[in-house]
Amino acid sequence: MQIKDPILFVEINNKEYNFVAGSFDENQNFEIIEKITSNNEGINENKIINIDQASEKIKKNIEIIEKKLNFVFKETTILLENFDFNCVNISGYKKLNGSQVLKENISFIINSIKSLILYSNQKKSIVHIFNSKNILDNVIIENLPIGLYGNFYSHELTFFLMDTNDLKNVKKIFLENNLKVKKIFLKQFGEGAQLIKNYSNETFIRIKINETKTDLIYFDKSAFKYSESFKFGTDIIYRDIQKICSINNDTIKNFLSSIPFNKNTIDETEILENKFFLNTSFRKIRKKLIKEVAEARIYEIIEIILKKNINIKSFQNNPQIYLAIKDSKIEDNFREKFKSCLLNHKYSDYNIIEDINLNEIISSIAHLSFYGWKKEAIPITQTKKSLVTRVFKSLFG
């Protein structure tokens, strides 16, 4: 492939397919040259439910891009956001007894643990593996300690797994269009890599509150270590206000569009004006009540994501928090409440940020695809041995 040949990326999220073509220039900068968005026919939430529909939709849009660029794609890189993933953190060990850490030792640990993970998760496939932590004689080493002498080496890996049938179905809808899937990426990986580039910080928690779900990712010294999705978003705030205040969603959004709670002090007796009521009769509703209901739910959201979340207890104390709120009405009105909730949970180092746009993520994924990531582990094919032999030799040296 010449450096200027177009490269195809396809993002699949819970609503859309995004088809993006771009190329690298002589300075290795990635430039997007064509993009098409369409509804994701054939997919329902996190499953492909109709191969024919999905394949046909993909075919039509790729043909449009190919015609515009006068170029036929043979392969594509996929970004997945809405499929179910799970991650596993696991360590392997090597007794050195005063010898050097060799590249072969590390490769053996990676391949052995990979085999163990696949044996324990026979309906799953590995999408990503990251070198999470290297410890030589109880000292954390930033980079792989190849060539260093020691007595005991511990190597922690993070695996991101996807249902094998889901993976096969994703590949099939592209293979039916004569497109080889070069690599599949978690979109969250690309988002995290872009955050590191934007803020020059390698350890953080990113929380993104969408309309109907909330996503959390954790990077530790550039290693993608954890991802979790919660089945609630800003919609739960609106539902609470609807239920308790007995007003419809249009009225709530119309009122919040005026940004009443950003800096203005709301008097205890202030009533929602008639002009805000849409498609419904006027009711005497205190503005302060709307504010209190929303803030109570925001407090609970942060509690569930951070304080009560046992899955993140082992994370580094007080990492940088990046919070992205997709709904501008919620962010503009309750920004200070989100800040106070984070401070209340002792997260003093935080930024409320704009969500990373798709163009940035695609550019990030393009570089990851072609140039790799310093903490991503690449298993090496080895001569076959029994699973038990490989695992025990890796774990106990």
User: Residue 154's beta-bridge partner residues?
Assistant: 93, 135
Which CATH fold topology does 86-160+375-396 show?
Dna Ligase; domain 1 (3.30.1490)
d(CA 367, CA 373): 9
* Residue 25's pLDDT band (cuts 50, 70, 90): confident
d(CA 211, CA 62): 29
d(CA 41, CA 299): 37
What is the CB neighbour count within 10 angstroms for residue 30? 19
Residue corresponding to tokens 């200070």? 336
* Tokens at 280, concatenated: 């419904």
d(CA 114, CA 106): 12
d(CA 164, CA 126): 9
Question: Looking at domain 196-233+313-353, which CATH architecture does it have?
Answer: 2-Layer Sandwich (3.30)
What's the pLDDT tens digit per position in 87-129? 999 999 999 999 999 999 999 999 999 999 999 999 999 999 9
* Tokens at 167, concatenated: 């993976």
Residues 6 or more apart in contact with residue 181 via CB below 8 angstroms: 75, 76, 77, 78, 170, 171, 174, 175
| Residue-level pLDDT at 395 | 44
What's the pLDDT tens digit per position in 224-279? 999 999 999 999 999 999 999 999 999 999 999 998 887 767 888 899 999 999 88
**Cα 315–Cα 317–Cα 321 angle in degrees, nearest 5:** 80
| Residue-level pLDDT at 48 | 92
Residue 12 predicted with pLDDT over 90: yes
Over residues 370-386, mean pLDDT? 68
The dihedral sign for the CA sequence 314, 336, 304, 235: negative
**Cα 380–Cα 385–Cα 388 angle in degrees, nearest 5:** 105
**Type of residue numbered 299:** Y
Q: 86-160+375-396 with 196-233+313-353: one CATH topology?
A: no
d(CA 61, CA 17): 9
d(CA 186, CA 128): 8
Domain 7-83+166-193+361-371 has CATH 3.30.470.10: no
* Residue 72's pLDDT band (cuts 50, 70, 90): very high
Mean of the per-residue pLDDT values for the chain? 91
| Residue-level pLDDT at 33 | 96
Domains of the chain by residue range: 7-83+166-193+361-371, 86-160+375-396, 196-233+313-353, 237-293
| Residue-level pLDDT at 379 | 54
What's the pLDDT tens digit per position in 167-195? 999 999 999 999 999 999 999 999 999 99
Nearest to 95 by CA among 145, 135, 148, 154: 154
| Residue-level pLDDT at 24 | 92
* Residue 384's pLDDT band (cuts 50, 70, 90): very low
d(CA 257, CA 209): 18
Strand order in the sheet with 75-80: 30-39, 16-24, 7-12, 75-80, 180-186
**Type of residue numbered 331:** E
Nearest to 87 by CA among 218, 232, 210, 233: 218
Could you write out the three-class secondary structure of the chain? CCCCCCEEEEEECCCEEEEEEEEECCCCCEEEEEEEEEECCCEECCEECCHHHHHHHHHHHHHHHHHHHCCCCCEEEEEECCCCEEEEEEEEEEECCCCECCHHHHHHHHHHHHHHHHHHCCCEEEEEEEEEEEEECCEEECCCCCCCECCEEEEEEEEEEEEHHHHHHHHHHHHCCCCEEEEEEEHHHHHHHHHHHHHCCCCEEEEEECCCCEEEEEEECCEEEEEEEECCCCHHHHHHHHHHHCCCHHHHHHHHCCCCCCCCCCCCCCECCHHHCCCCCCCCCEHHHHHHHHHHHHHHHHHHHHHCCHHHCCCCCCCEEEEEECCHHHHHHHHHHHHHHHHHCCCCCEEEECCCCHHHHHHHHHHHHHHCCCCECCCCCCCCCCHHHHHHHHHHC
| Residue-level pLDDT at 391 | 45
Does residue 84 or residue 179 have the better pLDDT? Answer: 179
What is the CB neighbour count within 10 angstroms for residue 334? 24
